[in-house]
Structure 1
Amino acid sequence: MRSVDRRSEGRGSAEPQLNRDAAAAAGAPLLIVATTPGAAAVLLAEEAGPARASILCLEGGSSEDQAAFARAAAEAAGRGCPADGAPRPLPTERLVDALLRELYAVRPARVLTLDPHAGREGSPAGRREADLVLAVLDAVEEYQRDTGRPVFTDCRVIDAEAWPAPASRPRYPAPLHWAVRGTDGRLSAYLPVPGGVARWTEEPDGRWSGPELLDVPGLLPGLTVVQGPDGYTKLIGLRRTRPASGEWNIEVVCALQYQSGRPLGPWHAQPNPHRAEPLRGRYLGYPSAACDADGTLHVFVRNDGHGVNTCHQRADGAWSGWTHLAGAKTADENVALPVPDGTVEMYARLRDRPGTVRWHRGGPGGKWAEDRRGAPVYAAPGSLAAAPEGAALRFRYAETGEPCEWRWGAQGPVSLNAPRIAGRVVGAAGVPVGGWSCTVLAAVDEQGCCAIGTYVDNSPESGVWWSPTGRRTLVPPAVVRDRTGRVIIATLDPAGRLSVARQMPGQALDFGPWDCVAGPADGG
C-alpha cells in the first residue's frame, strides 16, 4: 500500500440520515480525469446531473480547449452539475499517488475518464491517454480496497468528428440484466467497478445489504451477467493482466454465484484469442453470453479484425478453446440470445453498413453458420439488447431513434411506442397486471430518468403503455421478478446508491416508494 496524504478520510463517522438524503439530492461528487480541458469538456457536456464535478487534466491544452471547457462548465452548472473550478493539473510522475490523493480529497461516487485502449497507432498523444487511464484504474482499485467504497467508473471513447459537437460513447457497456433472482428466491444486484464487482443482496426479511466489494484485481469496469437454466448466476468480464515485462494484455474471465450473498466461485481465465499478440489482444470487444437449454454457456467477443470469436463452457464446467466465426465485419456491439429451439444465437451490428448479422447452429452440437440476411434489425449504435424473456431483440431504429422489438422468426419489428430514450430497453415477462400476464419494460429517457412500460406478454403490437418515474439513474435500469412474481425495478441513483421500487400487491402496476440502499455517498 502506498503512503499518501489521505485528506478528509473520516472513516469512522456516520452522517445523519438527513445529511445523506441531502447529499443524494445534490448529487454525489464526480471526478473527471482527462488529458486536456477539451476532452474534459466533452465528458462534462454530457453529464445530466445532479453532481458536483471536480476536473483533473494531464495537460493545460490550447486556448480552444480552455474555451470549450468554459462553455461546457457554464452549461453544466445550469443543469445542476457545477464544476469546482478550472481543471487542476496532474503531475507527469508518480501519477497513481497523485490520483490517490485526489480520490481521498474528493471521495467521488463516480469517475469519468477516457479510453485505456488509446494509442493503438503508437502516437504520443494516444500513449499518454492510455497511460493516464491505466493509472486511474490502478488508483481507483487501490482506493476501493482501502476504503471499501465502490467507485463507479466509466471509460469513454471520444469522437471528435461527431456532429453537431464532439461526443463520447462507453468503452465498456453497462450491464443490462444486472439484478437476478437466486435459487433461494432472494435477489442480488451486480455492478462493475475497476478491479471488482459491487454486490447488493436481498436479505430474508426483504431488506437489502451492501454494497459489498468483490475484489477482482485487474477487472475492467464492465460486466455481463447471465443466468442459466440451473438458476446459478455467471459473471463474465475482461481482466487486465500485469506481466513483469512487455505490453499488458486482457483475458476473458468468468465466475459462478451459487447461493445469494455467498462468496463467488473461483474466476476462470480464458486466454485472449490474440494472446500471442498482446497489442492486438488489448482491443478485444466486450463479451456477450447466453446459456442454451442444456446449460452450456456460450461467450462471444469481437476480435481485433472485427470478426467474432466464440468459446463455450459445458454444464460440467469444462471450457472449449476459441473458434473464429468467419464472416462479416462487425461493430463493437453484439448480443447473445437463447431461442425457442434450445440453442443460442448471436447477433451483431454490421461495421460498415446498416443492418445486423446473425450466427446460429443447426441444433445442439451443430456447427456455427453465418446468416448474412441477419434479422430485420437496423439498430442505432448503443441500442441493441437481447430480450431473453421473450426470444427477442430490442433496439432503437437507426434512422428515427424509435424503440422497436423484433421477435425471433418474425417478418419484421414492431414499435414499442416509447418516449425518446437514450439507451437500451430491458424487461421481464410473466408479471401479473390487471388479471393479465404482462411484460414490464424499463429504459432511460433523454433526461436520464427511468421510464417504465408494459404490454401483454408476446403482444407488443397490441399496445405498450409507458409512465415516467422522474427517477434519475446512472445505469440502465434492471427489471426482475421477486419470489412472489411481482416485478422490481432497480436503478443506481445520482449518489451512487442502489434504488429499488417494488410492485405493490393488487391488480395494477403500482409501485411502492423507492428504497435507497447505503452506498458511496453514505459515509464510511
Structure 2
Amino acid sequence: MNGDWLLRGRDGRLSVYQLSGDAVLCRAERGPRGPWSAPRRVGGEQRLHTVLAVGQGADGYAHLVSWRPTVKGESGLVHSTHFRPHLAALDWHPVGHPDKKGDRTGTPAVAVDAQGRAHVFVRNKGGGISMLAQKEKGGWDPWRDLKGKEVQDGLAAVTGESGRVELYAAVPQGLLYWRQEEPGTQPVLQEALKAPVRPGTLRALATSPERTTVFYTSTSGDLCAWRPGGEPVTLLPAAGPGPVSAVRCDLDGHDCTLLVQRTASRRVAFAAYPTELESAGAWWTESGPELPLDALVSLTTDEEDRVVAATLSPSTGRLLLTRRKDEPGLALEAWREV
C-alpha cells in the first residue's frame, strides 16, 4: 500500500484500509476510541489487483486508487471516494491508463489539494510520471505527462500547508521533486537531488507553511530527511525495511515530527524530534509485540489530537492499536487487538 492507511475521518472516527485478495477492506470505529466494525468491502464487487494508494484531503475524505484487470494482459486504474468511515464508499470508477492502455506500470500515489481534488500519480511505460487530476466540479482532466525518466516504484505524494500538491520520486541517481506553482496547475519538475536512495522507502510530510520534508533510506541504511532547496540530513540508522510513517504532533508544548517504522526484529520503533530541527537528534524506542513478517505500521492523531499508531498484517488481518497516554513524554498505552 502507498500512503497512510490509518486515517482520522471528518467525524473524528479512525479507520483502516487493507488489501484482501482481489478487494480492499475497511474497518472503522463505531464511536470515539471504539469499538470497531468488522471489515467491509470497499467500492462494490469490482475485482482489483493487490495494490492500493490512499490520500486524504483537509475535508477528511479518503481517496483510494487501485489497478483493476481489464482484458488479458491489460489493466486500468480505478478511484473511489470514502466520505465517512462508517458509511459505504463510492463504487470504483475507472479513470484510465497513463499510456491509454497496457498492463500495470507502477504503484500509484494520491494527494488531495485544498479544494478537495484528488491528484493521481503513476509511472508510465517510458519511465516518467503521469498525473490525473479531478476537476473541482466533477470529472477528471486529461492525463498529463510530468516528464522524468528512470523513475522507480514507490512515489511519495504530499499536499503542503499551502494546499498545493507535491511529488517525490526515486531515480537511480537520487530524487526528483515536482511542485504546483499555483493551485490547480500542473506540477512542475523543480529540483533533482543527487543522493544514494533506496527505492521503496520514500514518505513525505508537510512540515511548515511553505515546505515539505521527504524521508528516505540511503543505500547505506541511514534514514535521511530532505527539504528541497537544502541538503539532505542523516537522522539515524533506519530501524528496518520499507518507508517510515510520519505525523506532526504536539509533545509537551513542542511541534514535533514523530516517525514510526517496523524494525528488523519485527517490532515497532518510534523516534521524535522538533519539526525541521533534525540537528537536535533522534533515537528509536521499540514498542509492542513481535509482528508477522508482512506487518505494516502507520500513524495518525485522533479527535483529541492524541497520537495513535497501528500495525496491520495483510496475511492474517490482525490489527493492533496503541494511543499516547495523557501524561508527559511519549508514553503509550498497551497495544491491543481490535
Name the CA shift for 1:338/1:378 in 2 (closer, same or farther; >3 Å): farther
Whole-Å Cα distance in 2 between the matches of residues 176 and 443 of structure 1? 14
Q: Output one character per residue of 1:173-210: Cα deviation in whole Å (capped at 9) or x when no partner.
A: x3340011111111001112232112111121522222
Whole-Å Cα distance in 2 between the matches of residues 367 and 187 of structure 1? 32
Equivalent in the alignment of 2:77: 252
Pairing partner for 2:309 from 489, 495, 508: 489
| 1:80-95 to 2 correspondences below 5 Å | none
Q: CA deviation at 1:316?
A: 2.2
| 1:35-434 to 2 correspondences below 5 Å | 174-207=1-34, 208-214=36-42, 215-241=44-70, 243=71, 247-276=72-101, 281-350=102-171, 353-371=172-190, 373-375=191-193, 377-388=195-206, 391-398=212-219, 400-409=220-229, 411-431=230-250, 433-434=251-252
Q: CA deviation at 1:389?
A: 5.5
The structure where strand makes up a greater share of residues is: 2
Greater Rg, structure 1 or structure 2? 1
Unaligned runs of 5+ in 2: none
Whole-Å Cα distance in 2 between the matches of residues 326 and 349 of structure 1? 14
Residue 509 (str. 1) matches residue 330 (str. 2): yes
Name the CA shift for 1:344/1:498 in 2 (closer, same or farther; >3 Å): same
1:234 and 1:255 in contact (8 A); partners too = yes
SS of aligned partner of 1:332? coil
Q: Output one character per residue of 1:228-272: Cα deviation in whole Å (capped at 9) or x when no partner.
A: 12111111111112x4xxx24211111111112100012221111
Q: CA RMSD for the aligned pairs?
A: 2.2
Aligned residue pairs total 330
Whole-Å Cα distance in 2 between the matches of residues 512 and 453 of structure 1? 16
Q: Output one character per residue of 1:407-451: Cα deviation in whole Å (capped at 9) or x when no partner.
A: 344x112222245421111111123x2333322210011122211
Unaligned runs of 5+ in 1: 1-173, 518-524
Q: CA deviation at 1:320?
A: 1.1
Counterpart code for 1:229: A
TM-score with structure 1 length normalisation? 0.59
Name the CA shift for 1:209/1:414 in 2 (closer, same or farther; >3 Å): same
Whole-Å Cα distance in 2 between the matches of residues 475 and 319 of structure 1? 35
Q: Tell which deviates more after alignment, 417-426 or 188-197.
A: 417-426
Equivalent in the alignment of 1:455: 273
Q: Output one character per residue of 1:76-107: Cα deviation in whole Å (capped at 9) or x when no partner.
A: xxxxxxxxxxxxxxxxxxxxxxxxxxxxxxxx
Q: Output one character per residue of 1:453-496: Cα deviation in whole Å (capped at 9) or x when no partner.
A: 11123323212132012532533311010111111110025843
Q: CA deviation at 1:376?
A: 5.3
1:195 and 1:220 in contact (8 A); partners too = yes
Q: Output one character per residue of 1:328-355: Cα deviation in whole Å (capped at 9) or x when no partner.
A: 33122322222354321222212xx321
SS of aligned partner of 1:300? strand
Counterpart code for 1:455: Y
Counterpart code for 1:220: H
Equivalent in the alignment of 1:7: none
Counterpart code for 2:179: H
Name the CA shift for 1:387/1:376 in 2 (closer, same or farther; >3 Å): farther
Name the CA shift for 1:500/1:420 in 2 (closer, same or farther; >3 Å): closer
Counterpart code for 2:18: L
Name the CA shift for 1:387/1:361 in 2 (closer, same or farther; >3 Å): closer
The structure where helix makes up a greater share of residues is: 1
SS of aligned partner of 1:461? helix
Name the CA shift for 1:299/1:205 in 2 (closer, same or farther; >3 Å): closer
2:105 and 2:122 in contact (8 A); partners too = yes
1:347 and 1:356 in contact (8 A); partners too = yes
SS of aligned partner of 1:375? strand
TM-score with structure 2 length normalisation? 0.90
